[in-house]
């Protein structure tokens, strides 16, 4: 157990990983929805959010939806129908098709593949960027030249070279779905994240860089696809004097009240990015003498700094064993491990989180294929480097990394205490 020393008192109000930061305009637009009685999935706020989301991302069209997961689902269906044609009513658009997916990400990135009957194949992570490894992706296309769809996420708002991923997709005649849920406002060579996919999605979930409490947008340059997604999201009603349905639909449309919150938040995206950047830089400076590195910034990219994360050097890891639901570790002088640091952060009433547990390590995806630079990640036993030399980068980052409290309302003094408690873990 980590022992907190008494001179560091727990914060009176919790310091969160990343919580909503409101400014006032949100309430104004919500009130407008209320006063005009557009308390449904139609209204000016939705129109405005779609306009702003498209402008900011550099895509031509945005479709306002209930969440980013719904957006990714419609991305999958659009891509599937474009690639393989329209499925029978009882099948999904990706039925029986392999799809290359980011491995170290939130499961919402690729669950929608399964909604459409597809089979996720996981692509290992690149150590230098913590994002999908382009080298492994290229290799995966050698194994499976028939694959026609890739879903890649930008981790924690620190993009890798999504442009490179896109070029690899083009070379192999595959479409790209970009999950920019965590990366709104981040850029690669000056080009906004969310604009690299044939279809992309952003999120306004409560802990993202800006929020509507929930919500998401699908982004595309095709007006036909935007209109189809919009129609599907409102139960696929055809233009007829009665309820006429030619296709399966969903109830995925964004609420005009929530759109009011998002509309109010958009003007603060840059401010939030600035604050998150300062947080990241203070951690980097404050922790620079420890045997750790911060989550990497890839050359040519501008992160939105959504979550600050760190990874402990291999030589400075104390022993840690993670089972399915529990973790054990042994404290050692000069060393630490994520479990100890997360406990320490929790002891002062702050919130840290483990790195996304890679998808190939999830019970529900355990039988799926997962590809790394040296071949299948399935050749791993428990360690991330096993006896026949498979290197599983995602498992390694999960093992040695963690997310630090990154709330933009955290004060400098509070962050100093977090930095101090992390340092003590290595004493």
Stretch that binds ligand PLP, among 93-101, 176-184, 285-293, 387-395 (CB under 6 A): 176-184
Judged by CB under 6 A, which of 41, 109, 136, 192 binds ligand PLP? Answer: 109
Q: Which is nearer to ligand PLP, 215 or 296 (CB)?
A: 215
- List, in order, residues 6 or more apart from 73 with CB less than 8 Å away: 112, 115, 116, 250, 252
Judged by CB under 6 A, which of 126, 133, 178, 182 binds ligand PLP? Answer: 182
Interaction between residue 216 and ligand PLP (CB under 6 A)? yes
For the bound state, the minimum distance from the C-beta of residue 109 to ligand PLP, rounded and expressed in Å, comes to: 5
For the bound state, the minimum distance from the C-beta of residue 417 to ligand PLP, rounded and expressed in Å, comes to: 27
Q: What is the DSSP letter of 87?
A: P
Say how many CA atoms lie within 13 Å of 386 toward its Cβ. 15
- The strand pair at 401-403 and 353-354 is best described as antiparallel
- The strand pair at 175-179 and 216-220 is best described as unpaired
Query: How far apart are the C-alpha atoms of 159 and 359, rounded to whole Å?
Result: 19
Residue with the two structure tokens 């990640």: 377
Stretch that binds ligand PLP, among 49-57, 175-183, 283-291, 322-330 (CB under 6 A): 175-183
Interaction between residue 18 and ligand PLP (CB under 6 A)? no
By C-alpha distance, which of 20, 83, 19, 32 is closest to 265?
A: 20
For the bound state, the minimum distance from the C-beta of residue 182 to ligand PLP, rounded and expressed in Å, comes to: 4
Handedness of CA 254, 257, 260, 262 (dihedral sign): negative
Interaction between residue 306 and ligand PLP (CB under 6 A)? no
Q: Which is nearer to ligand PLP, 295 or 320 (CB)?
A: 295
Judged by CB under 6 A, which of 38, 61, 106, 384 binds ligand PLP? Answer: 106
For the bound state, the minimum distance from the C-beta of residue 339 to ligand PLP, rounded and expressed in Å, comes to: 22
For the bound state, the minimum distance from the C-beta of residue 127 to ligand PLP, rounded and expressed in Å, comes to: 19
Tokens of 10: 């727990």
Distances (CA, A) of 216 to 123, 174, 204, 220, 307: 25, 24, 5, 13, 19
How many binding residues for ligand PLP (CB under 6 A)?
14
Interaction between residue 178 and ligand PLP (CB under 6 A)? no
Residues 63-102, one symbol each (x = binds ligand PLP by CB under 6 A, - = not), give: ----xxx---------------------------------
Interaction between residue 205 and ligand PLP (CB under 6 A)? yes
Interaction between residue 122 and ligand PLP (CB under 6 A)? no
Q: Which is nearer to ligand PLP, 104 or 175 (CB)?
A: 104
Q: Which is nearer to ligand PLP, 111 or 320 (CB)?
A: 111
Judged by CB under 6 A, which of 151, 181, 309, 341 binds ligand PLP? Answer: 181
Q: Which of residues 327-356 bind ligand PLP (CB under 6 A)?
A: none
Q: Which long-range contacts (CB under 8 A, 24 or more apart) does 79-82 make?
A: 79/149, 79/175, 79/177, 79/198, 79/199, 80/116, 80/118, 80/149, 82/175
Interaction between residue 57 and ligand PLP (CB under 6 A)? no
Interaction between residue 105 and ligand PLP (CB under 6 A)? yes
Whether 340 contacts 330, CB under 8 Å: no
Stretch that binds ligand PLP, among 75-83, 106-114, 393-401, 404-412 (CB under 6 A): 106-114
Whether 381 contacts 113, CB under 8 Å: no
Buried b or exposed e, range 268-305, using 16+ CB within 10 angstroms: bbeebbebbbebbebbbebbeebebbbbbebeebbbbb
Buried b or exposed e, range 375-412, using 16+ CB within 10 angstroms: eebeebeeebeeeeebbbbbbbbbbbbbbbbbbbebee
Stretch that binds ligand PLP, among 10-18, 174-182, 280-288, 346-354 (CB under 6 A): 174-182
For the bound state, the minimum distance from the C-beta of residue 164 to ligand PLP, rounded and expressed in Å, comes to: 19
Stretch that binds ligand PLP, among 25-33, 81-89, 177-185, 309-317 (CB under 6 A): 177-185
Q: Site residues (CB under 6 A) for ligand PLP?
A: 67-69, 105-106, 108-109, 153, 179, 181-182, 203, 205, 216
């Amino acid at each position: 157990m980590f022992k907190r020393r008494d001179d560091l008192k727990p914060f009176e109000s919790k310091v969160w990983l990343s919580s909503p930061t409101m400014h006032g305009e949100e309430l104004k637009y919500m009130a407008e929805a209320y006063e005009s009685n557009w308390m449904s999935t139609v209204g000016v706020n939705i129109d405005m959010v779609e306009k702003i989301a498209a402008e900011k991302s550099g895509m031509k069209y945005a479709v306002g939806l209930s969440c980013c997961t719904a957006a990714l689902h419609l991305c999958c269906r659009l891509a599937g129908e474009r690639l393989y044609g329209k499925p029978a009513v009882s099948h999904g658009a990706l039925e029986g098709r392999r799809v290359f997916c980011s491995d170290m990400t939130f499961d919402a990135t690729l669950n929608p593949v399964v909604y459409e009957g597809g089979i996720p194949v996981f692509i290992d992570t690149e150590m230098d960027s913590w994002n999908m490894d382009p080298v492994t992706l290229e290799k995966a296309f050698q194994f499976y030249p028939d694959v026609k769809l890739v879903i890649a996420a930008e981790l924690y708002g620190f993009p890798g070279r999504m442009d490179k991923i896109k070029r690899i997709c083009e070379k192999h005649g595959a479409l790209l779905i970009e999950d920019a849920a965590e990366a709104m406002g981040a850029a690669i060579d000056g080009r906004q994240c969310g604009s690299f996919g044939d279809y992309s999605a952003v999120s306004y979930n409560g802990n993202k860089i800006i929020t509507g409490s929930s919500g998401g947008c699908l982004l595309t340059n095709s007006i036909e696809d935007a209109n189809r997604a919009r129609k599907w999201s409102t139960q696929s009603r055809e233009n007829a004097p009665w309820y006429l349905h030619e296709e399966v639909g969903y109830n995925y449309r964004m609420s005009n009240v929530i759109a009011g919150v998002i509309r109010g938040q958009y003007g603060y995206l840059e401010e939030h990015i600035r604050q998150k950047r300062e947080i990241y830089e203070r951690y980097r400076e404050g922790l620079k003498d420890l045997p750790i590195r911060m989550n990497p910034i890839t050359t040519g990219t501008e992160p939105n700094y959504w979550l600050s994360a760190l990874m402990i050097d291999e030589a400075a890891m104390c022993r840690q064993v993670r089972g399915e639901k529990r973790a054990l570790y042994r404290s050692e002088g000069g060393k630490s491990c994520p479990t100890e640091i997360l406990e320490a952060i929790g002891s002062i009433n702050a919130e840290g989180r483990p790195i996304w547990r890679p998808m190939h390590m999830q019970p529900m995806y355990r039988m799926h294929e997962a590809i790394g630079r040296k071949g299948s990640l399935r050749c791993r036993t428990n360690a991330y480097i096993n006896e026949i030399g498979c290197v599983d980068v995602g498992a390694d980052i999960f093992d040695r990394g963690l997310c630090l409290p990154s709330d933009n309302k955290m004060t400098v003094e509070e962050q100093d205490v977090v930095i101090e408690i992390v340092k003590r873990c290595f004493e």
